[in-house]
Amino acid sequence: MLSTVVLVITYLILLLVWFALWAVFLRLGLRWAKIEGITSRRILRVTTLVFAIQVLSNVGAGVLAWRIAPQIVWAALVPLVTGLLVPWWVIAHAFQTRLRRSFQAWVPTLAAGVATALVSLVLVRPFLVETFSIPTNTMAPTLLGNHLKGTCPDCGRPSVAALPISVLPSLSGRPQLMICENFHVLQGMVGSRVFPGDRFLVAKYLRPRRWDLIVFRNPGEPSEQYVMRLVGLPGEEILIQDGAVWANGTKQTPPDSIRNIRYLSEFPNARGKVWGSVNHPAPLGADEYFVLGDFSANSEDSRFWSEGAPGHPSFAVPRSHLRGVVTHICWPPQRWRILR
């Protein structure tokens, strides 16, 4: 609930910043263009109308892209056209001037968008909220990358193929390792249509808790960013047994949203150590975390890493590598949900 409130307030503040700056720069532009009849009421009316049209056009463009095709060019042109042509016409109509002069009055308002973007980049993105996506399906079915769909023969729910998008199209129509919404792992058939992955929001201000989805820098390759489920906290010894996570000898109960998940720790063909297994429990230091992918049969996570951050074991994610906690899936619309 807190994350949703912060998200809504942040969005509203950015809209208000844009609205106020647009009105200020419109006044400057009107004076620059030497247009008569400048009043605060007219400026407020023009700004409100332009603001409403642009918000509606952005929403409409998003729905158009979702319903027709994620990569459709026309969807991107809708807000572009309304952002350029509509303000000229509204300014010209409100102040009874020619389009050429209304264009001159409109030009300074571009600074409002630039200033709002700077506020987002300097304040919002580093300290509050950032959007992410993932290229794989190691977190399926909770978070999805680009994927092929099938149907689970056990429960009839949609299932997702494990393989990355680079090889998905060539494997259509052949049995693939899949996981369904009820966390049943199976070999199943997939269709040929590639579905787009999720875009999700990450809160930078939240303190991570067990079972949260976290974004972090790869301990062995800090330039890469991963998203996985946090299962082990600082100071704990983590063991995976009978499909469950044990911390310091106590079995941990997952939340209802993943109650059917079963984590694996026995891999007879594994080339190296499998951390968290009976033979290799994972002891965590005072600033270290243990993470797992939800698609346990097909996830390169803390169990398998062979290289760690300097001064830390290979299986540990140092606190300094954490980027934030996943709070919402925001796109596509049918996948919208609150995760924390």
- Structural tokens at position 91: 């300014």
142 located within any domain: no
- Please tell me whether residues 208 and 319 are part of one structural domain: yes
- Please tell me whether residues 113 and 219 are part of one structural domain: no
- Please tell me whether residues 15 and 104 are part of one structural domain: yes
Query: What is this structure's pTM?
Result: 0.87
Please, what is the average pLDDT of the chain?
Answer: 88
Q: What is the pLDDT of residue 71?
A: 47
- Please tell me whether residues 257 and 277 are part of one structural domain: yes
324 located within any domain: yes
- Please tell me whether residues 121 and 252 are part of one structural domain: no
Last residue of a domain, one of 141, 163, 188: 188
132 located within any domain: no
**CA angle (184 as vertex; 183, 190 as ends), nearest 5:** 105
Please give the tally of structural domains in the chain. Answer: 3
Q: CA 19, CA 3: separation in Å to the nearest integer? A: 24
- pLDDT (tens digit per residue) in 56-100: 766 655 555 555 544 445 555 666 666 677 888 889 999 999 988
List, for the chain, all residue ranges whose pLDDT scores fall below the cut of 50: 69-72, 168
Q: What is the pLDDT of residue 81?
A: 66
Q: What is the pLDDT of residue 70?
A: 47
Domain containing 171 equals 149-188
Q: What is the pLDDT of residue 68?
A: 53
Q: Which of 221, 200, 211, 226 is nearest to 299 (CA)?
A: 226
**Helix intervals (H) in 40-197:** 40-67, 73-95, 99-106, 110-119, 125-127
334 located within any domain: yes
Q: What is the pLDDT of residue 76?
A: 55
- Please tell me whether residues 93 and 181 are part of one structural domain: no
Phi, psi dihedral angles at 215 (to 5 degrees): -100, 135
179 located within any domain: yes
Last residue of a domain, one of 97, 127, 157: 127
- Please tell me whether residues 324 and 205 are part of one structural domain: yes
- Please tell me whether residues 264 and 313 are part of one structural domain: yes
- Please tell me whether residues 122 and 58 are part of one structural domain: yes
- Please tell me whether residues 184 and 206 are part of one structural domain: no
269 located within any domain: yes
Secondary element (H or E) of residue 31: helix 2-32
- pLDDT (tens digit per residue) in 98-108: 988 999 999 99
Q: What is the pLDDT of residue 99?
A: 86
Q: What is the pLDDT of residue 69?
A: 47
